[in-house]
Structure formats: structure tokens, C-alpha cells
Amino acid sequence: MRIVAAILLAAGLTGCASLPSAAPLVGRDPSDPAQRTSAASYAPVLGGYTPQKPVSPGSWEEQNRRMAPGADDQRQ
């Protein structure tokens, strides 16, 4: 029981440790207002949308002919 208490005490104390003096940064400093940024561009959310409407079902025999292996060879 003492070992468990010691481990819990050590784990609790590590949360109180001080942070490093300088946080590591990769790239630009976000707090520096002099840094240049890339230009923002507008792209509409529905830009590539094409409306589709339901159609009546076609002939299953014709569908089978179009999808059969070698169907392109038979059309020519």
C-alpha cells in the first residue's frame, strides 16, 4: 500500500513541475503581427454541385448488354 501511495504522490507532484522556459515552435510565431500570411481565397461550398433528378428505371436487358464484358467491342 505504501508503494501505491508513493507512486500516486510522485504522479501528483509531476503535475506541479514548472514548464520549460521556451515552448518549441515550428514555423512562424503566431503571436508576431509582422509575420506574413498566405492570401485567403474563397471557394463556394456548392461550387461543383450538379443537381440530379430521379429517372424511371430502364430495361434490365439493355443494362446487362452495356455492362457485359466485351460490350464495347460489339458496338463498333
Q: What is the pLDDT of residue 6?
A: 92
Rounded to an integer, what distance in angstroms lies between the CA atom of residue 72 and that of residue 76? 7
Please report which helix (H) or strand (E) contains residue 67, including its range: helix 60-67
Give tens-digit pLDDT for 15-74.
777 666 666 667 777 788 888 888 889 989 988 889 899 888 888 898 888 888 876 665
Q: What is the pLDDT of residue 72?
A: 67
Q: What is the pLDDT of residue 13?
A: 80
User: What size, in residues, is the chain?
Assistant: 76
Q: Give the cell for residue 72.
A: 464495347
Binning the chain into helix, strand and coil, the percentages to the nearest 5 are 35, 0, 65
Is-contact 35 28, C-beta < 8 A? yes
